[in-house]
């Protein structure tokens, strides 16, 4: 079994949380702002132009994924990046990329164009045929 398969099998839930947290523009922008160090939620809200409830949701996703930590000081919440979590995501992507790059070209999945004929029924006209180009092969 490949290194990637082992990583994914052992840490699938962790990888899903990390990639989900990194899959949103607002969350990426928040992480970018936090690269400079700990910031108050009010600073993040102003810099991102986000409503408090929306930003709160995104920060919770980042926190649940372990990408940021938070601390309270009086009424204010401060967030900071967890560098080890970003390294973990980086290492997983690097492993995936290395496995794919090292695989022989013949074993890599690639898009294959096929033509499928679709019959479309329109109540005002007779059935018409049209061709669609479909890339890849699913379930064949």
Q: What are the pLDDT tens digits along the chain (140 aa)?
A: 565 566 556 577 888 899 999 999 999 999 999 999 999 999 999 999 999 999 999 999 999 999 999 999 999 999 999 999 999 888 888 887 776 666 665 555 555 544 444 444 444 444 444 444 444 444 44
Give pTM, 2 decimals: 0.65
Q: Show the domains of the chain with their CATH numbers.
A: 3-102 (1.10.10.10)
CB–CB of 62/30 below 8 Å? yes
Which of 49, 56, 54, 84 minimizes the C-alpha distance to 70? 56
pLDDT at 124: 45
- Residue 27 CA, distance from chain mean position: 10
């Amino acid at each position: 079994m490949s290194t990637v398969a082992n990583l994914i099998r052992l840490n699938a839930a962790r990888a899903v949380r990390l990639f989900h947290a990194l899959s949103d523009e607002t969350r990426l922008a928040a992480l970018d702002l936090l690269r400079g160090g700990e910031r108050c939620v009010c600073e993040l809200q102003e810099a991102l132009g986000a409503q408090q409830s929306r930003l709160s949701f995104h920060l919770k996703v980042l926190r649940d994924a372990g990408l940021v930590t938070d601390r309270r000081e009086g009424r204010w919440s401060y967030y900071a990046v967890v560098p080890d979590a970003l390294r973990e995501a980086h290492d997983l992507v690097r492993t995936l990329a290395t496995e794919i790059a090292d695989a022989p070209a013949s074993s890599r999945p690639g898009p294959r164009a096929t033509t499928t004929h679709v019959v479309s029924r329109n109540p005002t006209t007779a059935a018409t045929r049209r061709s669609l180009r479909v890339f890849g092969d699913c379930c064949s």
